[in-house]
Amino acid sequence: MFSIQNIISAIRARGEYRRRALTASDSWLDTTETCEDEAIFLGGGDPSSVSHLRNMLARHGDISCCPNTLLFAERFDAEAIADSWQLEPSYIDQLRSQSGSAARFVRLLIHDHLQQTGAARWTEASAANVRNIPDLLRLFPNARFIHVVRDFRDAICEELLSRSIQASGSDGSEIESAPSIAPTADRWAKDTSAGLAYQNHPRCIEVRYERLLSDSEAELRRVCTFLNEPFEPEMLNAFAEPMLEGSPFLKLRLHGRSLSPRTPHCGRWCSDLPAEHRRVVGPIVGELLIALGYAQNHDWANSTDSKQPRLRLVRDDEDSHRVA
């Protein structure tokens, strides 16, 4: 029988096992040294919603959005970090030699970035951060973690559309077969459960993506209160492209990351998620959707409707996604 506590216990055990595996072969994380920065980490089961909040925070005058430091990769990859930060791999290797620990390495790498942007705090937004909450809280004792939660059914619709466009350059009318999305559903369930395990931690907060869209100001004010930062109206203009033009300072804060090309919508799965896909992901994410309040039962996954919806791009001035 499903139990959210059983999932939480399993996720915590998995995280501890992985931490031991990392530190057993490398003292990189196995150190009492910490970084005292008031860092802000974002993570969650849906990369798109994590990026959305990242772009909002990057508009705050005292917060700079950093590239991924790849602290918890299975091995230290200087080339990958250098590519992410647009630096030379030799410089990354030099920083590692000077630091000797993950906490000191981050401090050396990011403080230079803060000096360039003029921001007082930094944030790292990566969906995978949710898998490493214990280590993040330990290595950064003054940090805050924001767990972004989104209805998987909407998230997979957006991801299917994105994959289709990238693969074929089309309008997204041809989507992947249902079985191929099972691993994505499994990842979302595990990652979301990992975040839920720390929902009552004083340095963690849960943000529902749907509320971030429906009442952005109220949700951002709640986040700012959690971060002990004043709310800034500019955060509501996260996707105003004209405001980026001629502003290298702001581009540096976003570190060249692209903004969302279209307005996201909630509830598109009702019309756009095919019955076959629902039946595949239902057994994987169904119970967690109920626990999160996104569903009352499994009826949504047991549809017998054979109609094949067509995912498509929707203009920003349209009210909602619908079947073309």
Domain residue ranges in the chain:
4-301
Q: How many C-beta neighbours within 10 Å does residue 115 have?
A: 9
The pLDDT value given to residue 85: 85
Output the six-digit token pair for 196. 């839920």
pTM of the model: 0.80
DSSP H helical ranges for the chain: 4-25, 47-57, 78-85, 89-99, 102-117, 133-139, 152-168, 182-196, 209-214, 216-227, 248-254, 269-272, 275-292
- Beta strands 63-66; 144-149: pairing state: unpaired
For residues 165 and 262, give the distance between their C-alpha atoms in angstroms, rounded to a whole number: 14
| DSSP designation for 293 | T
Helix-then-strand count for the chain, H and E: 13, 5
Output the six-digit token pair for 253. 């804060």
For residues 303 and 308, give the distance between their C-alpha atoms in angstroms, rounded to a whole number: 12
Point out the residues of the chain with pLDDT beneath 70.
1-27, 30-31, 163-176, 240-265, 303-324
The pLDDT value given to residue 288: 97
Longest dimension (CA), the chain: 61
The pLDDT value given to residue 11: 52
CB 277 within 8 A of CB 315: no
- Cα 155 to chain center, whole Å? 12
For residues 82 and 161, give the distance between their C-alpha atoms in angstroms, rounded to a whole number: 30
- Cα 26 to chain center, whole Å? 27
The pLDDT value given to residue 42: 97
4-301, what's its fold? Rossmann fold (3.40.50)
Helix (H, G, I), strand (E, B) or coil at 195: helix
For residues 248 and 309, give the distance between their C-alpha atoms in angstroms, rounded to a whole number: 42
The pLDDT value given to residue 179: 81
